[in-house]
Amino acid sequence: MTEQLPTELRDTSTSARLVYRTIEHEEPITFTELLERTGLSDAGLRYALDQLREADVVTQTTRSDDARYRPYHLK
Protein backbone atom coordinates (compact mmCIF):
# COMPACT_ATOMS: atom_id res chain seq x y z
CA MET A 1 0.00 0.00 0.00
CA THR A 2 1.28 3.48 -0.87
CA GLU A 3 1.97 5.89 1.97
CA GLN A 4 -0.31 8.89 2.15
CA LEU A 5 0.96 12.24 0.99
CA PRO A 6 0.65 15.21 3.33
CA THR A 7 -2.67 17.01 2.97
CA GLU A 8 -0.75 20.16 1.95
CA LEU A 9 0.02 18.41 -1.36
CA ARG A 10 -3.59 17.63 -2.23
CA ASP A 11 -3.87 20.45 -4.78
CA THR A 12 -0.35 20.28 -6.21
CA SER A 13 0.63 18.99 -9.63
CA THR A 14 1.65 15.43 -10.37
CA SER A 15 5.18 16.73 -10.91
CA ALA A 16 5.25 18.30 -7.44
CA ARG A 17 4.15 15.01 -5.90
CA LEU A 18 6.86 13.16 -7.87
CA VAL A 19 9.50 15.60 -6.64
CA TYR A 20 8.20 15.27 -3.07
CA ARG A 21 8.50 11.48 -3.22
CA THR A 22 11.97 11.71 -4.74
CA ILE A 23 13.18 14.06 -2.02
CA GLU A 24 11.53 11.83 0.58
CA HIS A 25 13.51 8.80 -0.58
CA GLU A 26 16.82 10.45 -1.50
CA GLU A 27 17.28 13.52 0.70
CA PRO A 28 19.44 15.48 0.80
CA ILE A 29 19.26 15.94 -2.95
CA THR A 30 20.39 18.76 -5.23
CA PHE A 31 18.52 20.41 -8.09
CA THR A 32 20.72 18.63 -10.64
CA GLU A 33 20.13 15.27 -8.98
CA LEU A 34 16.38 15.94 -8.97
CA LEU A 35 16.53 16.71 -12.70
CA GLU A 36 18.27 13.40 -13.34
CA ARG A 37 16.03 11.31 -11.05
CA THR A 38 12.67 12.76 -12.11
CA GLY A 39 13.26 13.37 -15.81
CA LEU A 40 11.47 16.72 -15.55
CA SER A 41 12.54 19.74 -17.56
CA ASP A 42 14.37 22.55 -15.79
CA ALA A 43 11.22 24.72 -15.86
CA GLY A 44 9.00 21.82 -14.77
CA LEU A 45 11.22 21.07 -11.79
CA ARG A 46 11.35 24.73 -10.77
CA TYR A 47 7.55 24.93 -10.92
CA ALA A 48 7.20 21.74 -8.84
CA LEU A 49 9.67 23.02 -6.24
CA ASP A 50 7.80 26.35 -6.08
CA GLN A 51 4.60 24.43 -5.30
CA LEU A 52 6.36 22.43 -2.59
CA ARG A 53 7.81 25.60 -1.04
CA GLU A 54 4.38 27.24 -1.15
CA ALA A 55 2.92 24.18 0.60
CA ASP A 56 5.72 24.57 3.17
CA VAL A 57 6.87 20.95 2.93
CA VAL A 58 10.37 21.41 1.50
CA THR A 59 13.39 23.49 2.42
CA GLN A 60 16.77 24.16 0.86
CA THR A 61 19.95 24.46 2.90
CA THR A 62 23.45 25.73 2.26
CA ARG A 63 26.60 24.17 3.62
CA SER A 64 28.92 26.58 5.41
CA ASP A 65 31.97 25.14 3.64
CA ASP A 66 30.46 25.20 0.11
CA ALA A 67 27.70 27.68 -0.68
CA ARG A 68 27.23 26.09 -4.12
CA TYR A 69 25.92 22.88 -2.52
CA ARG A 70 22.25 23.62 -1.77
CA PRO A 71 20.35 20.37 -1.25
CA TYR A 72 16.63 20.03 -0.71
CA HIS A 73 15.10 18.40 2.37
CA LEU A 74 11.60 17.74 3.61
CA LYS A 75 10.46 19.81 6.57
In a domain, 1, yes or no: no
Number of Cβ within 10 Å of residue 27's Cβ equals 12
pLDDT for the residue numbered 1: 38
Considering the domain boundaries, does residue 53 fall inside one? yes
51 within domain boundaries: yes
Here the CATH number for the domain that contains residue 41 is 1.10.10.10
Q: How confident is the model at residue 9, as a pLDDT?
A: 92
For the chain, the domain total comes to 1
Q: In this structure, is residue 54 part of a structural domain?
A: yes
Please list the pLDDT of the chain residue by residue as tens digits (75 residues): 357 888 999 899 999 999 999 999 999 999 999 999 999 999 999 999 999 999 999 999 987 888 888 999 999
Q: Is residue 25 part of a domain?
A: yes
pLDDT value at position 2? Answer: 53
Contact 23, 39 (CB under 8 A): no
Residue 21 lies in a domain: yes
